[in-house]
Amino acid sequence: MNSFVTRISNYLSLVRFSHTIFAMPFALLGFFTAINTEGYYFTWRLLILVLLCMVFARNAAMGFNRYADHKVDSLNPRTARREIPSGIISPRSALVFVIANSILFIAAAGFINKLTMLLSPLALVIILGYSLTKRFTSLSHFLLGLALSLAPVGAYISVTGKFDTVPVLYSFVVLCWVSGFDIIYSLQDSEFDINNKLLSIPVSLGVKQSLIFSAFLHLLAILFVVSSGLISGAGFLYWLGTIIFSVMLIYEHIIVKPDDRMSITKAFGTINSYAGVSFCAFAIADLYIQLSF
């Protein structure tokens, strides 16, 4: 029993399951936005299927990321103790894990509706393809952002079977937000990337320009949040969530120091977790509790 629990723990660590908190709140926002659209309603079956799609897709994406990068990770002192380089999980086992989660993702999407089933292979190409992009483009941050941005619009489509403006805007929020904080996260590996011919925005632009570019992307994320609120006629709680989200992103850029790994970790993990969860929680609450200014 202990060995089984340890094995599960190792795989959860492999995929950094705790980082699901970046995309999951926006998936829930897309879901609850959809069921608050006239003609649609809540079912536990659909919610569970959406959550399963999120979990399976992210497991496949992170598992493949670790599999694709395990040789590079073994050379980097920061990542050498990850599960595959350290021998805790074999590359073959990681690949089997990826294949199993990919199949489960497509199966879960197939139980939702025809459009989600048809789009699921394309979604897999995007979320798995991100892991290969650092080898040929500096824009890998945007591929990660694109992969996570599928969450709100995908959840919305799961309910309605169609696209709409507001969930698409939420996807743009995630695209800019995630791309921006991934640039900050990659600062700690910029020297290693240069030495190993890997590409990123910090490698291409340098530290100072990368931080400016990251701040610009976060400004765009805030503007998309504001745009979606204006279009949807959002209430007080939505705008309160928008203020909290904006303040946290500003604070992130105030505290981050390129030569201080602790500040990068805090900016990447802690602050962005709170920012995403806070905004989505207030935005979802605003769908049910209409408070006037």
pLDDT at 265: 83
The tens-digit pLDDT sequence of the chain (293 residues) is 567 778 888 887 787 766 678 889 999 999 999 999 988 999 999 999 999 999 999 999 999 999 999 999 999 998 999 999 999 999 999 999 999 999 999 999 999 999 999 999 999 999 999 999 999 999 999 999 999 999 999 999 999 999 999 999 999 999 999 999 999 999 999 899 999 999 999 999 999 999 999 999 999 999 999 999 999 999 999 999 999 999 999 999 999 988 887 888 888 778 998 999 999 999 999 999 977 66
In order of start, what are the domains of the chain with their CATH numbers? 17-288 (1.10.357.140)
CA-CA distance, 246 to 252, in Å (whole number)?
10
Q: What is the DSSP letter of 132?
A: G
Question: Apex CA 57: angle with CA 56 and CA 62, to 5°?
Answer: 100
What pTM was estimated for this model as a whole?
A: 0.94
pLDDT at 91: 93
Closest CA to 234 of 285, 183, 171, 180: 285
pLDDT at 63: 93
CA-CA distance, 66 to 10, in Å (whole number)?
13
CA-CA distance, 48 to 158, in Å (whole number)?
11
